[in-house]
Chains A and B, each alone.
Chain A
């Protein structure tokens, strides 16, 4: 855990108060959240963490009150005059408590869906984490991922050579599966689609990437897309540490790369927060002005091609019951909910939905970057994921498809620690296994039984 060793108690207090009072100057959303909450407790009722194991510090309002209390004390007349009578409180100097608490919120935004005012506690969580970051208290894991990503443009720290070797390997894989040359173009200037996956989808669980390569192949668009040997990881942990500077610095090379390629589409892979940053924040917020390209998502694109009837599948390759876990960043935050279902229903024999689903889905328990933190593994296994596991078990699914690397890591650890009887993987993984190329699905050794 980052311990902010370079800061004295008094400096810490000043910094905290300063950055909380700065809320007065915006953004509007935080201003409102400081004032409007009616403290009805509905957020706790729908919070995956509080419902996993209710303790006072896990109550979303209690967590948000760390900041709200200071805001009231220093910026409102009533807070100055009446103090704790109106819920104002001072910073107690315990930044460790802040970090523990703000890194127990998965930022899933489920509270906002049910709050009568639409108050999104994840915004306050992010503010809390930003304050922790500014005072050097960000957990070490997070710091390291951010640093690696800033240094190498990917969270794996993989070199362009390693990336190219992996791509060669994946092309050979597909040649073995289908007997034809299916290309994954790299660094092609002039390509229309610039594919940006999470690096894990190339280096660790590459089936999603092969699935996309196959779709391009079937459509005869092999020369229309490209990957970048430098920018192949959309993951951006600046979102999770609350550091806007890091988030933008991490984002910039991708936009430049897309411009260099002259791409028409920034084609985002199966990574929820990467798509959210590109689509909802970077593109909508015009971080880099007007863009010569459009941000789209691979799932909506593939689903559209399926609806047009351009892709064919052998569903019998995926006979097991499959369910889809809506990653919070894709579902609630970006509205990509129907497309993955279109793909899975086309590619699998037995697709089942969990309840609730789509915008009301329970978080996997590893959102907000928590999935990468093994120091809170116990919390993730036993608290934040309780609701999710109940849901998955109720479907009887043997395969949980999800379009988010963090969700996948969380699920994999859940399977291990609960000795659960299902597998986890991506959406395009299912497509990759059953899509017909020249009338034939992939030949693969069926190690899944």
Chain B
């Protein structure tokens, strides 16, 4: 394997973990429950981890740390009495990219123990919100951070959803809740101290398709 510079990830809780070049925890002994919880959010699990999640995670941890194996997806499901679709539902980014990553199994271990493990064809997480044909949220109240994250993914912003994004979105949503109208671009920029350059950087689609859409405001 050609090794690249090690990556690291710092979660919102402030804790930093080292990752391999595929974004898997490495070295593996850094793993703790906090990592699982934070990594789960990165893998499209937006609510708290449930008992069912933990059952899989603990199962994988046991196999990995005690038996030094990673079961293939079909056997993991069979052992845990899960349907494949249940597993997809629990871990939207898939078994190896989702479940194994959250359980702290590193990529090289999976690849070297059996490269087919990493061949599982899973899908990217998709919008589970109802949107208009133009891509605006149909219902203002169904907005959550996942929706914002998906829009960010669409824009392919390298830094992802930042606190600055959140700040602006919060302003937009509060303004709309209070006034039942959309602030014009000057009001919005002035109230959030946003200049044009930063606006385009943070919201490449501009004000209406960018700022308003990601905040879940309807299309005018």
Report A-B touching, CB under 8 Å.
Answer: yes
User: Which of B33-41, B56-64, B70-78, B182-190 binds A?
Assistant: B70-78
Q: A423 vs B125: C-alpha distance in the bound complex, in angstroms?
A: 11
With an 8 Å Cβ cutoff, the count of chain A residues facing the other chain is 43
CB under 8 Å from chain A, chain B span 63-101 = 72-75, 77-78, 83-86, 88-89, 92, 97
* B83 with A166: CB separation less than 8 A: no
CA distance A200 to B72 in the complex (A): 9
Closest to A209 in B: B74
Q: Determine whether B156 belongs to the interface, using a CB cutoff of 8 Å to chain A.
A: yes
Check B114 for interface membership: any CB of A closer than 8 A. Answer: yes
Q: Is the CB of A145 within 8 A of B115?
A: yes
Does B181 touch A at the CB level, under 8 Å? no
Q: Which of A145, A168, A176, A205 contacts B78 (CB 8 A)?
A: A168
Are B115 and A444 in touch, CB under 8 angstroms?
Answer: no
Is B119 engaged at the interface, CB distance under 8 Å to the other chain?
A: yes
Which A residue sits closest to B120, measured CB to CB?
A204
Judging by beta carbons under 8 Å apart, are A445 and B114 in contact?
no
CA distance A145 to B92 in the complex (A): 30
Give A270 to B153 CA distance when docked, in angstroms.
33
For A408, list chain B residues within 8 Å (CB).
119, 121
B156 touches A419 (CB 8 A): yes
A425 within 8 A of B: yes
* Residue B161 is within 8 A (CB to CB) of chain A in the complex: no
CA distance A156 to B156 in the complex (A): 35
Task: Tell me, yes or no, whether A449 is within 8 Å of chain B by CB.
Answer: yes
For chain B, the bracket of interface size reads 20 to 34
Q: Which chain A positions have C-beta within 8 A of B123?
A: 423, 447-448
Task: State which of B83, B111, B119 has its C-beta within 8 Å of the C-beta of A200.
Answer: B119
Chain B residues 136 to 158 lying within 8 A of chain A, measured CB to CB, are 153, 156
Contact status A156-B78, CB under 8 Å:
no
Of A158, A169, A449, most buried by chain B (CB within 10 Å of CB) is: A169
Contact A445 B74 (CB under 8 A): no
Residue A170 at the chain B interface, CB threshold 8 Å? yes
Per-position binary interface string of chain A over residues 414-445, scored 1 when its CB falls under 8 Å from any chain B CB and 0 otherwise: 01100101011100000000000000000011
Q: Is A396 an interface residue (CB 8 A)?
A: no
Whether B128 sits at the interface, judged by CB under 8 Å, is yes
A residues engaging B (CB < 8 A)? Answer: 141, 145, 155-158, 162, 165-166, 168-170, 172-173, 176, 199-200, 202-206, 372, 374-375, 378, 405, 408-409, 411-412, 415-416, 419, 421, 423-425, 444-445, 447-449
Starting from the known contacts A409-B115, A425-B121, A445-B83, 7 additional A-B residue pairs (CB-CB under 8 Å) come to A157-B114, A203-B75, A204-B117, A372-B115, A412-B121, A447-B92, A449-B127
Identify 9 residue pairs between A and B in the complex whose beta-carbon atoms are under 8 Å apart, listed by A's number.
A145-B115, A165-B75, A176-B83, A199-B116, A412-B120, A445-B83, A445-B85, A447-B88, A449-B126
